[in-house]
Structure 1
């Protein structure tokens, strides 16, 4: 009995030694050490702010709009000309219903070798037409709207002034649309521009201002034109 007890003790002791050797003396619950916590993910690199390319608008100013007239020829000097040998529509003259702003935007922003000047005018954002048909005689204005109308007919109660030109003061250029209002930056410059004349335009005084403003606008809008699958006339430069 003593031998069996001793033998049993030795067997248990041997088993304990064996388990201790296997576990390096570590309790069973600590044999499998927990996996280390994952390292924190590195903070994402902040996206640098978008920078606008500086576009060269010289190709826009050089492109031909009507035979013998480039964009530069149309805006300097700032006058609206009419060539009787060419079809009468803007920018050769200006008819009452010509979409002059859409046409102007096309000729200063789009490559006219790819797109025609009426590209913006065809977009479905313009009015479908006028509210009332226009008369064929002067003053070519439709009757006023209202119920009842405020006039018996087109211009029937309007008195046209007959003051001489010297009685008037020019408050804005009325030559090519959008030149004074969009391509001259800020009221101070615009006032000076309005005080000048087409003869002064021909000296090139306002060419740097017109070019600088068109460059700023192109830098802002070229990516939008490309997203619309339009080809801008300004080139990276």
Structure 2
């Protein structure tokens, strides 16, 4: 899965801004000897809000009739078989879902496309291991994962009941558990179910974390002239 981790996003936004500056501008010629150089005026900083309201981010439309809130609550993969598949309607194995998720929770989708972060040249061009052409389609695991002992059996996804599996993480909507759930809440979140999401159990947690991240990244987005979906208050 292609991903632009949140920390990398925070670190690379200023770098992209620096790379985008015009390096072809010639240096100013020195004035006559003895003349007093004219000081370069310092631009006044643009005042920005110290707090943000992220309600608009959660309410903006990712697809017709689908809001960001619909995608993250409940935290499940949603698929309408009557519509074209691919994020946000389900997802393909090679969809850059983390980049897309970060874009829709931070950027104003009326000004920027949802694939803006996924199209950054810093992103890898694809998964480092090719997916399989047949079932189960997933790429072979990296490294040397442990194998079952002799005589053991693997899971049969077609016939095994849900009780045969042990949940270790919830990744229905990638980047939600990773980016919007704080460390102190991750175990509780992973142990919960989509019904808990729908009841509003984690709404405050998700909103608080999104607000905090927005405040931390706001100046970087603004330096790059990227419009955020959050509004200063």
- Give me the TM-score of the superposition, normalised by structure 2: 0.69
1:108 is aligned, of 105, 110, 115, to: 105
Which secondary structure does the structure 1 equivalent of 2:62 belong to? Answer: strand
The 1:142–1:218 alpha-carbon spacing in structure 2 relative to 1, beyond 3 Å, is: closer
Corresponding residue for residue 222 of structure 2? 226
Residue aligning to 2:31: none
Give CA deviations for 1:115-135 in whole Å, capped at 9, x if unaligned.
010000110011123456544
| Partner Cα distance (2:58, 2:186) in 1 | 21
- Contact conserved, 1:52 with 1:220, CA < 8 A, in 2? no
> What corresponds to 1:46 in structure 2?
none
TM-score, reference length from structure 1: 0.68
The answer to whether the Cα contact below 8 Å between 1:132 and 1:142 also exists between their aligned partners in 2 is yes
Deviation (angstroms), 1:195? 1.4
8 Å CA contact 1:78, 1:201 repeated in 2: yes
1:81 to 78, 82, 86: 78
Q: How much has 1:186 moved relative to structure 2? A: 1.5
Assess if the C-alpha contact under 8 Å between 2:49 and 2:232 holds in 1.
no
- Structure 1 residue runs of 5 or longer lacking an equivalent are 1-49, 151-158
Give deviations 1:184-229, integer Å, cap 9, x for gaps.
1113x11111111111111111111100000000000011011111
**Which of 187, 191, 214 in structure 1 is aligned with 2:187?**
191
2:54 & 2:87 partners in 1: Cα distance?
22
Shift of 1:168: 2.2
Pairing partner for 1:211 from 202, 207, 221: 207
Tell me which of the two structures has the higher relative contact order, counting C-alpha pairs closer than 8 angstroms and 6 or more residues apart: 2
TM-superposed deviation, 1:101 = 0.6
Instruction: Report matched runs for 1:37-52 at 5 Å.
Output: none
Please report how far the alpha carbon of residue 86 of structure 1 lies from its aligned counterpart in structure 2 after TM superposition.
2.1
8 Å contact 1:134–1:142 — kept in the other structure? Answer: yes
Structure 2 residue aligned with 1:96? 93
- Render the CA deviation track for 1:34-84: whole Å, top value 9, x for unaligned: xxxxxxxxxxxxxxxx99710110010000001211011111111110112
Unaligned runs of 5+ in 2: 1-46, 145-152
Indicate the residue corresponding to 1:168 in structure 2: 165
Task: Return the alpha-carbon distance in structure 2 between the equivalents of residues 103 and 202 of structure 1.
Answer: 23
Q: Tell me: CA distance 1:205–1:134, structure 2 relative to 1, closer, same or farther (3 Å).
A: closer
Q: Which has the larger radius of gyration?
A: 1
Tell me how far apart the structure 2 counterparts of residues 129 and 88 of structure 1 sit (CA, whole Å). Answer: 19
Computed over aligned residues only, the root mean square deviation of the Cα atoms, in angstroms, reads 2.5
Report the counterpart of residue 55 of structure 1 in structure 2: 52
